[in-house]
Amino acid sequence: MIQLIDVTKTYNTGKSEVHALKGISLEIPDNTFISICGKSGSGKSTLLNMISGADKPTGGHVFIDGVDINQLSDKRMSEMRNNKIGFVFQSFLLEPSLTALENVELPLLMRKMSREQREKIAIEMLDKVGLRERLRHKPGELSGGEKQRVSIARALAISPKILIADEPTGNLDEATGNSIMELIREHTKNCTFVLVTHDTALAQTADMKITIKDGMISRND
Ligand SMILES: Nc1ncnc2c1ncn2[C@@H]1O[C@H](COP(=O)(O)OP(=O)(O)OP(=O)(O)O)[C@@H](O)[C@H]1O
Ligand SMILES: [Mg+2]
């Protein structure tokens, strides 16, 4: 279970303060598919960063399975993230010096998996996202949609308990997007899936739907 209690996030850019989250409280039971909608700049990506522990809230608490994640040491936090959480970032965050295959292998490497096993899983995932022919390409040699698919393969490769995805099909044509979403849904049957999307029809298919407006939850159903 993921639990947020009065989470706030203020970015201080030196010149000005941005109150990106203004008190978000939310409970997401295990194995829930939750969609998050809202206008650009409303705070969706910021919220995902709080849930995944990628960034710390200014105020409030985030509990994952009863653990206040911001009380964890850096080491414990990265262990928790590496073991439980797959993240598809809006900006992909691939390692530019590594090939597609090595990028997908990276979280598996952190799990101290053997090279053979890592490669097998990574190739299988890249095959599933349609990139069997691009294993040795580096991010700079891939299209935007291909990079997005590498980041999806990387997130799914660890069979996460929680998959957090920030507009994972935003750069894909409709047909590829649909088939990738199907693949994600297949791999998230027994996990919590937190999805930010502008696709309202897709959002409607979620178990829980929230809308963020100006750093607050404006609708929760
Ligand atoms: N690192 C940062 N420093 C300062 N301000 C930031 C930072 N990151 C985000 N913001 C601001 O916080 C607000 C929320 O940003 P966020 O990225 O969460 O929006 P979003 O809902 O994901 O938008 P989009 O749909 O465009 O991705 C925006 O006004 C943004 O300008
Ligand atoms: Mg965003």
Q: How far apart are CA 75 and CA 147, in angstroms?
A: 28
Q: What is the CATH number of the domain that holds 146?
A: 3.40.50.300
Which residue has the CA at smallest separation from atom 25 of ligand 1?
40
pLDDT of residue 140: 96
Q: What is the pLDDT of residues 105-160, one digit of tens each?
A: 999 998 888 999 999 999 999 999 999 999 999 999 999 999 999 999 999 999 99
Which residue has the CA at smallest separation from atom 27 of ligand 1?
40
| Closest to 7 measured CA to CA, from 67, 34, 35, 47 | 47
Residue 52, domain member (yes or no): no
Residue 138, domain member (yes or no): yes
pTM: 0.93
Residue 25, domain member (yes or no): no
Residue 61, domain member (yes or no): no
Q: What is the pLDDT of residues 178-216, one digit of tens each?
A: 989 999 999 999 999 999 999 999 999 999 999 999 999
Tally of domains within the chain: 1
| Parent domain of 92 | 32-42+71-220
pLDDT of residue 214: 97
Token readout for 215 is: 């750093």
Predicted confidence band at 171 (pLDDT cuts at 50, 70, 90)?
A: confident
Residue 23, domain member (yes or no): no
Predicted confidence band at 83 (pLDDT cuts at 50, 70, 90)?
A: confident
Q: How far apart are CA 137 and CA 157, in angstroms?
A: 18
Residue 12 alpha carbon to ligand 2 centre in Å: 18
Q: How far apart are CA 97 and CA 103, in angstroms?
A: 9
Residue 160, domain member (yes or no): yes
Residue 58, domain member (yes or no): no
Ligand 1 pocket test: which of 24, 46, 217 has the largest number of ligand atoms within 8 Å of its C-beta?
46
Pocket of ligand 1 (CB under 6 A): 11, 13, 18, 20, 38, 40-46, 90
Which residue has the CA at smallest separation from atom 31 of ligand 1?
41
Query: Average pLDDT, whole number, for the chain?
Result: 94
Residue 22, domain member (yes or no): no
pLDDT of residue 125: 96
